[in-house]
Amino acid sequence: MPRLPQTSYRTSFAIIAATFALLTTGGTLPIPLYTLWGNEFGFGPETTTWVFAIYVFGTLLALIFFGGLSDQVGRRPLAIAALILAIASTLFFIFASSVPMLLAARFLSGVSVGLITSAATAALSELFRGRNKAFPAMISTAANMGGLGLGPLIAGASAQYLPAPTVLIFIVFISLVSAVTVLTFFVPETHARTPGAKINWTPRVGVPQQARTVYWKSAIAVVPTFTLLGLFSSLTPRFIAQTLQIHNLAVAGLATFILFEIGVTAQLLFRSRGPQWSLLRGLPLLILSLSLVLTGFLTANFLLFGAGTVLGGFGAGLAFMGGLGQLTGVVEHESHAKSVAAYFIAAQSGLAVPVLTIGALTPALGLTGATTAVIVTVIVLAAIALAINAKSSSGPAAVQQVSAQEK
């Protein structure tokens, strides 16, 4: 078989970044459509919680069992596998006629996002040829957060104003995924498999011994960061519909989009800053944001809720970028993918916390009480993360890491 021509490193970098953003966009496309499917298939909020949970389960499963696989077989095979699964998932959405089909679609979508996450993040780092070593981590986090925000916006607008609200958007999506799949075959492999080496199928997720302290500092920061994102994703549509009495899927999607894209904007604005600088600015903003959101939610005050959204976007963007950059700055090439997978396992766990916990506590505490309990817990966790990262920010390890980032 003749060897395919390969795209340049710059073009390949753009293709992998676009692939990552596209698949994370697909992961959140269904969010505004749950009410439509609920009306069509006859299910309520409890089933919606399980449909969301199985997506997170698929993502975590892929990260745990296959997150480090690209360190053995290469980045491109994992990217192509993720794209194929995304196509299969989208076909389930297009032809969905029951809850089991939705569950299958969301599970495959979660596995797809889990596969692309560590492989794309590692590939971006390896394809980059510039001087700023923090740039690939910034693009990775921007692609992740940007995609997460685009999904609800595009699907909400499509469902509100275009025909076939639960089908058309997925037809467009599967066309884009198919095109990107073809392009990915021309991307050069940045971590080729060693000829004759046997594949170890044992889950390989984790960080080297010398990087574990840094990992735990990053992980404890990214959990409240993604919990905040999960809270906004679930609270904002409800706040708009119940408090503001605006029953428009496009508006609900726009509000979620604003939160995530503010995070991307923060990453672009402060891309030249070091990881610890970003963490020590992002975490205080998270704490302030959550306080404003809780107050706005309890008092039905839109201005406070909106201010919390803006600050939350900035805080989440900086904290997420800082945590990932801090970890990748101390991890060697051979352990890149499995270390990134470990970081995103912590992140995805945080994303699942609000929906599942609020759902579990609501029968006993009511919706308001359950939401309040979760937000207060996250504020405490963010404060602990801030204290831990601030304490070590001036130590020898931090100085060495800053020096490495500057070189």
Question: What is the distance between the alpha carbons of residues 217 and 390, in angstroms, rounded to a whole number?
Answer: 10
pLDDT in tens, 176-205: 999 999 999 999 988 877 777 787 777 767
Mean pLDDT of 132-161: 88
- Token pair 């599970």 in the structure block, residue: 107
Mean pLDDT of 31-41: 89
277 pLDDT band, cuts 50/70/90, is very high
For domain 9-188+206-406, the CATH class is: mainly alpha
15 pLDDT band, cuts 50/70/90, is very high
Classify residue 394 by burial, with Cβ atoms within 10 Å: 0-12, 13-18, 19+.
exposed
pLDDT in tens, 69-113: 888 888 999 999 999 999 999 999 999 999 999 999 999 999 999
Share of the chain above pLDDT 90, in %: 44
256 pLDDT band, cuts 50/70/90, is confident
pLDDT in tens, 112-122: 999 998 889 88
pLDDT confidence of residue 169: 97
Question: What CA–CA distances, in Å, run from 152 to 98, 134, 160, 185, 407?
Answer: 22, 29, 12, 29, 39
pLDDT of residue 214 exceeding 70, the answer is: yes
397 pLDDT band, cuts 50/70/90, is very low
- Residue 386 per-residue DSSP state: H
pLDDT confidence of residue 74: 87
More confident residue, 81 or 300: 81
pLDDT confidence of residue 21: 96
Question: What is the distance between the alpha carbons of residues 306 and 370, in angstroms, rounded to a whole number?
Answer: 21
pLDDT confidence of residue 71: 82
300 pLDDT band, cuts 50/70/90, is confident
Could you give phi then psi for residue 276, rounded to 5 degrees? -70, -35
pLDDT confidence of residue 2: 55
pLDDT confidence of residue 153: 92
Q: Which of 212-216, 218-222, 347-351 has the lowest mean pLDDT?
A: 347-351
pLDDT of residue 399 exceeding 80, the answer is: no
Mean pLDDT of 263-273: 87
pLDDT confidence of residue 394: 56
Question: What is the distance between the alpha carbons of residues 349 and 337, in angstroms, rounded to a whole number?
Answer: 18
Q: Are 252 and 152 in contact (CB under 8 A)?
A: yes
pLDDT confidence of residue 1: 42
Amino acid at site 151: G
- Token pair 């302290």 in the structure block, residue: 213
Domain layout of the chain by residue ranges: 9-188+206-406
| Closest listed residue to residue 17, CA positions, set 229, 264, 203, 233 | 264
Amino acid at site 46: E
Which H or E element spans position 159? helix 135-161
pLDDT confidence of residue 129: 85
Instruction: Report the SS3 class of residue 61.
Output: helix
pLDDT confidence of residue 398: 47
Start-to-end Cα distance in the chain: 41
pLDDT in tens, 140-151: 888 988 898 899
More confident residue, 303 or 45: 303
Mean pLDDT of 366-380: 89
Q: Which of 123-132, 308-317, 376-385 has the lowest mean pLDDT?
A: 123-132
Question: For the chain, give me the number of helices (H) and strands (E)?
Answer: 14, 0
Mean pLDDT of 335-357: 83
Mean pLDDT of 261-276: 88
Question: What is the distance between the alpha carbons of residues 268 and 300, in angstroms, rounded to a whole number?
Answer: 32
pLDDT of residue 207 exceeding 90, the answer is: no
pLDDT confidence of residue 3: 66
